[in-house]
Chain A
Amino acid sequence: MSKNKRLKNPLSLQIDPDLFREATEDEKKQQVTMRESISFMKDAMRRLRKNKIAMISLVIIVLVALIAFIVPSFYPYTYTKQDVTAQNLAPFQYSAKEQMKIDKGISVFPHIMGTDSLGRDYAIRVIYGTRISLLVGIFSALIVIVIGIIYGSISGYFGGKVDMIMMRIVDIIYSLPDVLIVILLSVAIKDIVSNSKSELIARLGAGMVSIFIVFGLLYWVSMARQVRGQILSIKEQEYVLASKAIGASPARIIRKHMVPNCISVIIIVAAMQIPSAIFTESFLSFLGLGVSVPMPSLGSLASDARTALRSYPYQLIFPAIAIFLIVLSFNLLGNGLRDAFDPKLRN
């Protein structure tokens, strides 16, 4: 009877409860197609892990860092120890004195990269130079992160006149030729440092001190610009308005919207900062404005190698490979981080 009724009026909108039956557990499960909720960091890290080149670079950086910071503590040679009987040895070559020792049955640790013109083990000097490069890169990134974030977020948060004045200052600093200012300061500071009695400054050397001063004065501007731009634009986003409308607290807005959106920019800019800082340091050391002797730096090692380039080319090759490897790895990791953390590319 009821069946006939339905056939009579196929366009009826009246719902017939007889046609429904309860869903089985399996069918219920099928309806849950929502993807697992992933936090922004997790998502970015997942994409970074997928990027083979970036992961290889990261592994290389970690390995180089481990070598640079652990090996010197148990290495049988130091970067200052000179041996006049073992000058300019080729890699794995022993001096006459060392050969005699070996003949007597005493084991001598090989000079993996040979020795320099003063008979210092070259491998440990390259390792120390690498350590300087890494330290410069990491500390400059820290300086840039701290100053850039504070400056940029103040400028972006207050907006208006404060923002305008602060950004004019950034514009001017941005247009200063940084390398020239670094050189100028190194020349000046070198003179002041050589008269200073502070041991920390003396150990770091004029070039180091001026590099850090200049990073503190000049290099944070791109970070400040990026952070400010992010904060300004996020402030005006509809989703921030929406979360305000549904009663989200400012703390939640900062935590859920401001921080994740800024973090990607911060990571990208900081990662790009590291290789450029390493470049600058090695450049200054090459010109003789970096670390003070006897502390080696990859730049000063390459510079010293020039005097006997024809006879001992490996004294150039080893520091050159080291700096190339470090900068290349940081560049590739930076690219990978940019691809992983740029929200615009998120899919």
Chain B
Amino acid sequence: MNAKFLRYLFKRLFMAVLTIFLVIAITFFVMHAIPASPFSSEKAKSDAVIAALEAKYGFDKPVPVQFINYLGNILRGDFGLSTGWVGNTVSELIMGGFSYSARIGFTAAIIAIVLGVILGSVAALRRDKLLDKIIQVITTALVSMPSFVMATLLLLLFALQLGWLPSLGNQPGGLVLPVISLALYPMAYVTRLQRSSMLDVLGQDYIRTAKAKGVHNSKLIFKHALKNTLTPVITYAGPMMAYILTGSMVVENIFSVPGLGRLFTNSMLRTDYMMIMGVTIFLATMIILMNFLSDILYKVVDPRIDLG
């Protein structure tokens, strides 16, 4: 924790906060560029009702004032009131949905990283052998499959044709398929990363030295190589978060999981602008924070990296 690192930390934190601010600004002004008022699309109401609603939500004030208010409210954790689910605040809905999405997403991420690291290492250690080729073919196929194709195919095969697992998320064991559909793509990606990074490390001088000293094979891999191969995987944490969060939009719809992704697509159907804004900002903040954390962690674990 030297001064150089602290300076990098603050610089990176400033960038993250700036990006979150930009996302809020983009979200706010894009939503306000929509000609239709958030309330005009609903059932015919009298002008007085609309005016009252607009005053209640603060839509009668000038846009910059609204933006400052909105920003201030977000800092207090208040994303406003939902118009699609009347009587709920956006924050309540987000938290309700997030408890499902976080469980699925977290499990998927753990599975993806653990299996990916194992498969990638195995492929690298058995380089050009049959096992390596099989792993390579499968991962190449998996990264070419969009999340919705993966999820619907899994649903078709395991829930509808074979009947092994339930097709709905609220049934017992119903979260297995959503987790698998979310985990496969990042798992394949981590496998490829891990394979090339393991090959890279195994070719380095210090490994040859350790071999020459007579270090046992398993000790060589677990003690000397593995630690250094994990740094590229850390950098993938941010993009993986982005994939899992956006992927959950389709996966939760397909398996009817009442999570954040399903909430988001439903709020688009109900043209609930406050919800769309709230969820976009919430998801973006999660992704940006994850990127920030993985960047910092990357520098912490690998001191060779230059702190530009």
Residues of A near any B CB (own CB < 8 A): 171-172, 175-177, 179-181, 183-185, 187-188, 191-192, 195, 275, 279, 282-283, 286-289, 299, 302-303, 305-306, 309-310, 313, 316, 320, 323-324, 327-328, 331-332
Contact present for A305 and B27 (CB under 8 Å):
no
| Nearest A residue to B32, CB-CB | A188
Contact present for B19 and A299 (CB under 8 Å):
no
Q: 1/0 contact trace for B135-158 toward A, CB 8 Å?
A: 000001101111111001101100
Contact present for A328 and B141 (CB under 8 Å):
yes
Residues in A with CB closer than 8 Å to B33 are 188, 192
Residues in A with CB closer than 8 Å to B288 are 175, 177
| CB proximity to A under 8 Å, residues B251-308 | 253-254, 264-265, 268-269, 276, 280, 283-284, 287-288, 291
Cα of A38 to Cα of B15 in the assembled complex, Å: 46
Contact present for B144 and A328 (CB under 8 Å):
yes
Question: Separation in Å of the B42 CB from the closest CB of chain A?
Answer: 14
B31 in the interface (beta carbon within 8 A)? yes
Known contacts being A175-B288, A177-B287, A191-B36, is A275 close to B144, with CB within 8 Å? yes
Cα of A83 to Cα of B220 in the assembled complex, Å: 68
B68 in the interface (beta carbon within 8 A)? no
B152 interface neighbour in A175, A195, A302, Cβ under 8 Å: A302
Contact present for B26 and A172 (CB under 8 Å):
no
Known contacts being A180-B246, A188-B30, A195-B35, is A327 close to B144, with CB within 8 Å? yes
Question: Separation in Å of the A170 CB from the closest CB of chain B?
Answer: 12
A180 interface neighbour in B34, B141, B265, B280, Cβ under 8 Å: B280
At the interface, is chain A mostly helix, strand, loop or mixed? helix
Question: Separation in Å of the B264 CB from the closest CB of chain A?
Answer: 8
Those 7 A-B pairs whose CB atoms lie nearest each other, nearest first: A328-B144, A327-B144, A286-B148, A179-B246, A177-B287, A320-B149, A175-B19
Residues in A with CB closer than 8 Å to B268 are 183, 187, 287-289
Contact present for B148 and A328 (CB under 8 Å):
no
Contact present for B249 and A320 (CB under 8 Å):
no
A309 interface neighbour in B18, B36, B155, B283, Cβ under 8 Å: B155
Contact present for B144 and A286 (CB under 8 Å):
no
Contact present for B265 and A287 (CB under 8 Å):
yes
Question: Separation in Å of the B51 CB from the closest CB of chain A?
Answer: 21
Contact present for B149 and A177 (CB under 8 Å):
no
Residues in B with CB closer than 8 Å to A331 are 140, 143-144
Contact present for B34 and A283 (CB under 8 Å):
no
B22 in the interface (beta carbon within 8 A)? yes
Cα of A316 to Cα of B150 in the assembled complex, Å: 11
| Nearest A residue to B250, CB-CB | A286
Residues in B with CB closer than 8 Å to A279 are 146
Residues in B with CB closer than 8 Å to A299 are 146, 148
Contact present for A191 and B34 (CB under 8 Å):
yes
Residues in B with CB closer than 8 Å to A187 are 268, 276
Question: Separation in Å of the A291 CB from the closest CB of chain B?
Answer: 15
Cα of A181 to Cα of B145 in the assembled complex, Å: 22
Contact present for A175 and B15 (CB under 8 Å):
yes
B156 interface neighbour in A171, A180, A313, A324, Cβ under 8 Å: A313
Q: 1/0 contact trace for B155-180 toward A, CB 8 Å?
A: 11000110000000000000000000
Residues in B with CB closer than 8 Å to A328 are 140-141, 144
Contact present for B276 and A282 (CB under 8 Å):
no
Contact present for A192 and B291 (CB under 8 Å):
no
B291 interface neighbour in A175, A289, A324, A327, Cβ under 8 Å: A175
Question: Separation in Å of the B103 CB from the closest CB of chain A?
Answer: 21
Contact present for B153 and A316 (CB under 8 Å):
yes
Cα of A327 to Cα of B142 in the assembled complex, Å: 11
